[in-house]
Amino acid sequence: MATYETVTGGLDQAAALKLYAWNAQVSAALLAPLHVCEVVIRNAVAEAIEAQYGPKWPWSPSFERSLPDPTIGYSPRKDLLSARRSATTVGKVIPELKFVFWQKMFTARYDQRLWSPHLQTVLPNFDLAMSVTALRLKIYHELEQIRTLRNRIAHHEPIFTRNLVDDFQKIADLIALRCAVTAEWMVKNQHALALINHRP
């Protein structure tokens, strides 16, 4: 409670508890938009990978070799090997891969193999004034912002200091890159914004 008590002046425990409750409620409310965003982005990336490496891409040696495998930190290659270990279909592999796996696909190493030929197909609503490289970089940074939010929520951390309206807009914008109808549906079927706008 110390974080909440500090923000509310340290003496007003009722105010601190009210902020704590609001933080928990808005965190829960953001899970649905985050869910839609993650599914939409991973499906877009999977479609691009399939176009380049074939319908059985999780088992493609060429794709596997394209993934970095650092000895320290997160390894996309190890994540793929783990995800496909007991899976028999692509549809079983995709949800087993971490959110960071999909984010890491938006790095410069995949510009020629994936994004130059396939970005406009899998994310058709992007700003045509932007280059593929600029958009890919923008998506990477927005996914980092969203992934940080998601991880804070998953670990029950405070999110009240964040610009949650901006976070929500980034989520909606990423969904809209693939499908404006889905983005509109998500906005209509969420209650996060109402909670964000009524912070105690």
Split into its structural domains, the chain has a count of: 1
* Domain annotation covers residue 2: no
* pLDDT of 3: 78
* Domain annotation covers residue 1: no
* pLDDT of 165: 97
d(CA 183, CA 193): 14
* Domain annotation covers residue 18: yes
* Domain annotation covers residue 6: no
d(CA 1, CA 10): 10
* pLDDT of 8: 73
* pLDDT of 146: 97
Asked if residues 200 and 19 have their Cβ atoms less than 8 Å apart, the reply is: yes
CA–CA distance from 22 to each of 8, 17, 87, 133 (Å)? 13, 9, 40, 39
Q: What is the pLDDT of residues 77-89, one digit of tens each?
A: 999 999 999 899 9
Range of the domain at 185: 13-22+30-196
Please state the pTM of the whole predicted model: 0.93
* Domain annotation covers residue 7: no
High-pLDDT (> 90) share of the chain, %: 88
- Closest by CA position to 192, among listed 65, 34, 51, 40: 34
* pLDDT of 41: 98
Residue 151 tokens read as: 């991880």
* pLDDT of 131: 94
* pLDDT of 13: 82
Across all residues in the chain, what is the average pLDDT? Answer: 94
* Cβ neighbourhood burial of 72 (10 Å; 0-12, 13-18, 19+): exposed
* Domain annotation covers residue 8: no
* Domain annotation covers residue 34: yes
Low-confidence residues of the chain, pLDDT below 70? 11
* pLDDT of 11: 67
